[in-house]
Structure 1
Amino acid sequence: MQKTLISPSVVGAVVVTYQPDLTALHRLLQALPSAIVATVVVHNGGWDDDACYRRFVSCVQHPRRQWVQMSGNAGIAAALNRGIAELTTLGCTHAWTFDQDSCPRPETLDILWAAWQAAARQMPVAAVVPAIHDQGTGNTLPFLLEHPSGVLEATPIHQTQPVAAAITSGMLLDVAVWQTSGGAREDWFIDHVDTEWCFRVRAQGYGVVAVPAAVLQHELGHTRTAFYRSNRTVKVRSALRTYYMLRNGWALARLPHAPQGWLPYFWRQAWRIMLVAVVYGPNRWQQLRAMYRAWWHAQRMDV
């Protein structure tokens, strides 16, 4: 474990797992610095193979770790809510949240905490987030910015600044803000859960601050080479993930706290998602059905 400058009495970690690669999970747990007062591993689903399950249990057992077994796959939102609730019982004021296939660099927490302290002099802060380095493509993900005109754009940044939204993996967040804002929407299950929460707390007057000097390594889904450009890769999703990505993105546009630029921005994303789903699949007929159901349900969801 790495020594950090952050107070050991305030920050706990939440790691959400679903059939994880145990090597990657072990690497993440070992990389968490000694300043983390406790780690809550929230397990959303196991294996039919008892041997794999026993190896998982062995991996997460540690005096400073708690293990929460959800009832089946309850989704990322429910798992985050449960993990952060566990941290509140331990007196943690901040939560550092992770997907199972991510790993911070040794200095990441110190950089995030210093950035939080600096930003808090200018605004109430709900969360600070690192740059996400996609191990599958070798690229660093852009951040979602809202321009003064209201236009939303995903663009690279090179200095610490507020952003419109960010993913929860690697996010250092204020536990009290999470709880008082209502936490993650569990009925949204997975995709855009983080985007919706960021929009919600920003509407309540908080900032979400990106810190590109802090880096999180992350494996972001499956990729394959685009057939028309040998040097370009595309993200390939299951039909279920296509459904949630589209449904929740369209539903988000109906919420009062969504920025006015979200719908035109997301339509550009949606066309790309649907094109990739139809061209690359897998299971193209299921993908088409998922798209139709996503649009139908998004217009009828209780938002």
Structure 2
Amino acid sequence: MERIVAGIVTFNPDFAVLADLVATVAPETAEVVVVTNSPMPAEERARLLDIAGDTPIHIDDPGGNVGLGEAYARIMARAESAVASRVILFDQDSSPPPGMVTALSRRLSALLAAGERAALAGPLPVSASPDHKPPTVHPHPDGRVVAEARAVWFAISSGSLIDIAAFREIGPFRGDFFIDAIDVEWCFRAWSKGFSCWLADDIPMPHRLGGGQLRVPVIGWELPVQSPLRLGTYARNQAALLGMGHVPLRWKTRICLYIAAQTLAYWLADGGRTARPRAMVKGFAAGLAGRLGPPRA
């Protein structure tokens, strides 16, 4: 039987959602690791320990916001010290249903048994509410379907079950990306090293992207509500991918066109206000220049 560690990264979380997440995944995992990128009150820590029941829970306080990439590194190191074979990652915005961890582990085992060098298997992200836009799925162009899973260019990190043996060969998540596109870069790197990434359409996971959604006048697009700082980091990290040889040319072409369209769309959605579009332009320029690390206002 596979030994699975669940890793959760938090930053000023809604504690009720976090508590439900821990209660759901603890019975299906050997240990739960929570990396707190913001201070967690002692009473909340005690409550999580109680909620986890018989499953050990390790609360890792790095002393500040180290970002997702570094938090994932801390989770993976803890999992390896616990002799785990698989890690499932979550952020505080996801609500996996009971049984999802076990179902994904079986699917990953089936993929490996079928001869696939699967680095991860992820659930189908769906909107947690009508006010949230679900993440977009990008199927791999080879169109493979194996063991009731389909090949995808990348899966969002939250909900992804990662094979630790594959992780050792692919390498760590990029800490200098801080947040956004960390999962994109890692999955592209996995494909370049002969591994593959998979998504199970029949295993849904409600996920909250941003703070809701904006409807763009005239063109009718729906965009996630994000702060200018977050949008700047998103554009920066996508621009950084342009200089990486393992990132497919079709993705580089797509992202340039898409970010240009998004920048205009946010300008329209915000009634001509420029805070978000300006942040995206500045972020994109920073990414091209290789200025990464924690986002700057």
Tell me, yes or no, whether TM beats 0.5.
yes
The answer on 1:119 being equivalent to 2:111 is: yes
The aligned counterpart of 1:50 is none
The 5-angstrom pairing of residues 126-165 of structure 1 reads: 126-137=119-130, 141-147=135-141, 159-165=148-154
Give 1:130's aligned amino acid.
P
Q: Distance in 2 between matches of 1:31 and 1:93?
A: 20
The answer on 1:36 being equivalent to 2:29 is: yes
Give the alignment partner of residue 171 of structure 1, picking from 160, 172, 175.
160
Change (3 A) 1:244 1:220: same
Change (3 A) 1:73 1:302: closer
- Does the residue aligned with 2:229 lie in a helix, a strand or coil? helix
- Does the residue aligned with 2:154 lie in a helix, a strand or coil? coil
Give 1:100's aligned amino acid.
Q
> TM-score normalized by structure 1?
0.84
5+ residue gaps, structure 2, are: 293-297
The answer on 1:65 being equivalent to 2:57 is: yes
- Does the residue aligned with 2:234 lie in a helix, a strand or coil? helix
Q: 1:257-294 CA distances to partner (integer Å, 9 max, x unpaired)?
A: 00121112212331343134323459944324422322
The aligned counterpart of 2:295 is none
Give the alignment partner of residue 220 of structure 1, picking from 209, 213, 222.
209
The 5-angstrom pairing of residues 181-260 of structure 1 reads: 181-226=170-215, 228=217, 233-260=222-249
Deviation at 1:144, TM superposition (A): 0.9
Q: 1:203-227 CA distances to partner (integer Å, 9 max, x unpaired)?
A: 0001101111112111111124526
- Does the residue aligned with 1:164 lie in a helix, a strand or coil? strand
5+ residue gaps, structure 1, are: 1-6, 48-52, 154-158
Percent identical across equivalent pairs? 24
Residue 239 of structure 2 contacts residue 284 of structure 2 at CA under 8 Å; is this kept in 1? yes
Q: Distance in 2 between matches of 1:71 and 1:33?
A: 25
Segment of structure 1 superposing worse, 269-278 or 258-267 = 269-278
- Does the residue aligned with 1:104 lie in a helix, a strand or coil? coil
Q: Distance in 1 between matches of 2:134 and 2:227?
A: 23
Deviation at 1:177, TM superposition (A): 2.4
The aligned counterpart of 1:156 is none
The aligned counterpart of 1:20 is 13
Q: 1:144-190 CA distances to partner (integer Å, 9 max, x unpaired)?
A: 12325xxxx9xxxxx51111111100000012322332211000100
Segment of structure 1 superposing worse, 118-127 or 229-238 = 229-238
The aligned counterpart of 1:294 is 283
Change (3 A) 1:128 1:58: same
Structure number having the greater helix percentage: 2
Give 1:32's aligned amino acid.
V
- Does the residue aligned with 2:289 lie in a helix, a strand or coil? coil
The aligned counterpart of 1:3 is none
The aligned counterpart of 2:42 is 54
Give 1:144's aligned amino acid.
H
- Does the residue aligned with 2:9 lie in a helix, a strand or coil? strand
- Does the residue aligned with 1:261 lie in a helix, a strand or coil? helix
The aligned counterpart of 1:90 is 82
What stretches of structure 1 move > 3 A for 4+ residues in a row? 136-142, 227-233, 279-286
Q: Distance in 1 between matches of 2:120 and 2:216?
A: 39
RMSD: 2.6
Q: Distance in 2 between matches of 1:185 and 1:136?
A: 30
The count of corresponding residues between Structure 1 and Structure 2 is 282
Deviation at 1:232, TM superposition (A): 6.7
Segment of structure 1 superposing worse, 121-130 or 267-276 = 267-276
- Does the residue aligned with 1:19 lie in a helix, a strand or coil? coil
